[in-house]
Chains A and B, each alone.
Chain A
Amino acid sequence: MTRGLTLFVLCALWGGPAGAQTAAVTVTQSGGASSESLVSVGTQVRALMEPAKDFRLNAEVAWGDRSRGDLNTDAFGTAYPYAGKTQVMEAWAEYVLPRGRGLRAIKVGRYRTPFGISAASDHAYLGFLRPPLIRYGTYWALSNGYFEHGIDVVVGVPRAALEVSVGRSSDVGDALRADGIDTVARAEGVLGSLVVGASYINTSPYLRRSFVKGRARFGGVDARWMRGGVQMRGEWLAGRPFDGTTTTGGYVDAIVHTPRMGPVTGLVRLERLDYDTDPRFALHSYRYGAGLRVRVWQRLAASVGLIHQGGQVTQRRATALDLGLTLTLRKNITGGP
């Protein structure tokens, strides 16, 4: 299904979408280096198309690779599958009903698991914003590399909506869930510039069944607020990665880009992760981070991130510095200038 939908999107773009309202292809090329003896490169190609009003197609393909220096690090992890091969990330078709009706959107295909704060801009790590500890699959929580093959329905009104996804897991990265049916539900409400959400997932553990029993179940709450160039975010989850264990954790961060900062965007983040099991295998970690992203040129951005961490995270070093460069190109094929 994934290949079929990807091919469909690419063929539709290639064939000249004469009737399309909008169509665009973006290419993001990134490269980074970390003081944790790691160098990475990644390429992400996204095709977005609206062949008819309210009907959308989206395909995303990524390739990434990294040096094999210090593999006990999560720098540049999770955002891309750094497997040295090209992989389809997303491929979906979506119908968004016009405003004023109850049912708002229905999506079919391969898409990111809609748990917590989920947006494309949150997935690619470019030296600025490492994915939070709760989104690394190998830390006994939920991976940003989780994908669903299924159907996703959003009902409600713009300021209060419920999203339900039913699908089969089809993940990328280091944490690959066992095959099975996943159910994800998310409620979201908007009050002024404050967005609050609550999510729940019932899925398969990412460890082999011979090691674990039961299902993975997590619940989470999140909030976002933005005004005057300051974006505050927070996310907390709790649940069990499999029977007999629990994981809790979360983060708060602030991303700041005010007029006086010009091309510079700043970030500070605090986070915490606790995995409780047999004391020999338990994981209790914290991480503090700060970063800057500077728009060097229209499509070129440089990033620097500094983290300090403690507890039983897998890294050997307590402090790490990440650097990154990102070039983004976009070609609008139809739909205006």
Chain B
Amino acid sequence: MQVSPSATARYFVVGLGLALCAVGATPTHANGQDLVGTVRAAGQLAKNVVVWLDVPRAARSEPPPTIVMDQRNLRFVPHVLAVPVGTVVEMPNSDRVFHNVFSFHDGKVFDLGLYPVGTSKTVTFDKPGLSRIFCNIHPDMGAYVVAVDSDVYAVSDGRGRFVMASVGEGSYTYHAWRPGADTVTGTLVVAPGRPAEIALP
């Protein structure tokens, strides 16, 4: 059977329309706008707070993009990294000395061994949880990777601000974690034009 180009185009448009209808019928965060908010801890704007919402994760045909946690000037950059479960984190050595990145405690347990300047190794964070990252050669180096079972997450900046992409109106359960504290869970009501405010003890 031969199908003309115009028929192919019609099928494509109809198929696309059906797909969009199907997506629209599913209550996901993808319909919303960017959610801007602030986090306070003990009344002060707090940086490096990981915030994520309990939202069903969308099915993906592609794996999440690789994220970089650099080792530069004897520190990990960024100091706090949030990634969805399944993310591959690349850890290049951009210093002039050797590093040995490891995580022995909670979360993802790994030891990347000794590796030189200009090379890189990767770790897949395949389960949710907090991983404390260290370098065995430089005991002052430390960082955190928080793997979350959600596609809606953010890390607050130096002014306590965070931005989450595409969050629809509604009431959500949120989780917030910051270095040195336990994870806090609460409810966040998202409304148009209303910035989110999260207060931690």
Residues in A lying within 8 Å of B, measured CB to CB: 21-22, 24, 26, 48-50, 56, 94, 96, 99, 104-105, 119-121, 157-159, 188, 190, 192-195, 224-229, 231, 257-259, 265, 293, 295, 299, 301, 328, 330, 332, 335-337
Contacts and interface: CB of A to CB of B under 8 A. Distances in A.
A24 B75 contact: yes
A226 B100 contact: yes
Contacts of A229: 102, 104, 111, 136
Contacts of A227: 111, 113-114
Contacts of B75: 22, 24, 330, 332
A121 B100 CA distance: 13
Contact of A226 (B48, B105, B113): B113
Given A259-B104, A337-B158, A24 B113 contact: no
Contact of B77 (A121, A231, A265, A335): A335
Contacts of B79: 336-337
Interface stretch (B10-18, B55-63, B116-124): B116-124
Contacts of A94: 96
Contact of B98 (A224, A330, A335): A224
Contacts of B116: 158-159, 188, 190, 195
A96 B100 contact: no
B115 A328 contact: no
Contacts of A48: 73-74
Contacts of B104: 229, 258-259
Interface string B60-78: 0000000000001111011
B189 interface: no
21 contacts: A22-B75, A24-B75, A26-B74, A48-B74, A56-B96, A96-B117, A121-B137, A158-B118, A188-B116, A190-B115, A190-B116, A193-B113, A194-B114, A226-B100, A226-B113, A226-B114, A231-B114, A231-B137, A293-B139, A295-B139, A336-B77
Nearest to B77: A336
Given A121-B137, A259-B105, A335-B72, 17 more contacts: A24-B75, A26-B140, A104-B117, A119-B97, A119-B98, A120-B97, A188-B116, A190-B114, A190-B119, A192-B113, A195-B98, A229-B102, A231-B136, A258-B104, A335-B77, A337-B47, A337-B78
A101 to B, nearest CB: 10
Nearest to A105: B96
B114 A195 contact: yes
Contacts of A99: 118
With most chain A CB atoms within 10 A of its CB, the pick from B79, B98, B138 is B98
Interface string B140-171: 10000000000000010110000000000000
A307 to B, nearest CB: 22
Given A159-B116, A336-B79, A226 B136 contact: yes
Nearest to B157: A337
Nearest to A28: B140
B91 interface: no
Contacts of A225: 114
B35 interface: no
Contact of A193 (B74, B77, B114): B114
B80 interface: yes
Please provide the 3 A-B residue pairs with the shortest distance between their CB atoms, ordered closest to farther.
A193-B113, A158-B118, A259-B104
Contacts of A119: 97-98, 137
A26 B74 CA distance: 10
Contacts of A188: 116
A229 B138 CA distance: 12
A254 B136 CA distance: 13
Contact of A159 (B74, B96, B119, B155): B119
A334 B79 CA distance: 13
A330 B100 CA distance: 20
A222 to B, nearest CB: 12
Nearest to A192: B113
B119 A301 contact: no
A295 B97 CA distance: 23
A195 B93 CA distance: 15
Nearest to A107: B96
Contacts of A295: 139
A299 B48 CA distance: 19
Nearest to A224: B114
A22 B139 contact: no
Contacts of B98: 119, 195, 224
Contacts of B155: 337
A299 B142 CA distance: 11
